[in-house]
Structure 1
Amino acid sequence: MRKSLLTASLLALAVAAPLAQAFEAGDIIVRAGAITVAPVEDSSELQVGGADVAGTKATVESDTQLGLNFAYMVTNNIGIELLAASPFSHEVGVRGVDAALGTPAGTIDGRLGDIKHLPPTLMALYYPLDSKSAFQPYVGLGVNYTIFFDEDLSSRQEANGFSNLELEDSWGLSAQVGMDYMLSDNLLLNAQVRYIDIDTTATLDHNTLGEVEVDVDIDPFVYMIGLGYKF
Structure 2
Amino acid sequence: MRKIVFVIMAFSLMAVNFVNAQDKEEKSNEFKRWQVRLRGVGVVTPNQSAKIGIIGGDVQISDAFIPELDFTYFFTEHFAAELILGTAKHDVKAINTIAGDIDLGSAWLLPPTLTAQYHFYTSDKKIFKPYIGAGVNYTLFYNVKSGAVADVKYDNALGYAAQVGFDLMLDDTFFINVDAKRLFLSTDVTVDATNLVPGLVVPAEVDIDPWLFGIGVGMKF
Say if 2:167 is the partner of 1:180.
yes
Aligned: 1:148 with 2:141: yes
- For residue 217 of structure 1, the aligned residue among 194, 200, 207 is 207
**8 Å CA contact retained: 2:34, 2:71:** yes
Structure whose alpha-carbon radius of gyration is higher = 2
1:136 — aligned with what? 129
Partner residue of 1:83? 84
What is the TM-score of this pair, normalised by structure 2?
Answer: 0.80
* More RCO (CA 8 Å, sep 6+): 1
Q: 1:209 to 1:109 in 2, by over 3 A?
A: farther
Q: Partners in 1 of 2:61 and 2:215 — Cα distance?
A: 23
Alignment of 1:1-231 (within 5 A): 27-39=33-45, 40-44=47-51, 46-48=52-54, 53-54=55-56, 56-85=57-86, 87-97=87-97, 100-101=98-99, 109-129=101-121, 132-154=125-147, 157=148, 162-207=149-194, 208-231=198-221
Contact kept in structure 1, 2:60 and 2:92, CA below 8 Å: yes
Question: Deviations 1:92-112 (Å, cap 9, x if unpaired)?
Answer: 001112xx24xxxxxx61532
> Structure 1 stretches of 5 or more lacking a match?
1-21, 102-107
Whole-Å Cα distance in 2 between the matches of residues 225 and 143 of structure 1? 21
* 1:124-152 CA-partner distances (Å, limit 9, x unpaired): 11012267410000000111111111110
Structure 2 residue identity aligned to 1:125: Q
RMSD: 1.9
TM-score (norm 1): 0.77
Tell me, in whole angstroms, the C-alpha distance in 1 between the residues paired with 2:124 and 2:66.
31
Is the CA contact 2:104–2:152 (under 8 Å) kept in the aligned structure 1? no
Structure 2: runs of 5+ lacking an equivalent? 1-27
Look up the equivalent residue of 2:85 and give its one-letter code: A
Off by >6 Å, runs of 4+ in structure 1 = none
Figure out how many residues of one structure are paired with residues of the other and give that number: 189
**Take 1:153 and 1:171, find their aligned partners in 2: how far apart are those partners?**
23
Deviations 1:72-109 (A, max 9, x none): 11001111100001x21000001112xx24xxxxxx61
Quote the Cα distance in structure 2 between the aligned partners of 1:24 and 1:38.
39
Kindly provide the amino acid, as one letter, of the partner of residue 111 in structure 1.
D
Quote the offset at 1:59 in angstroms. 1.3
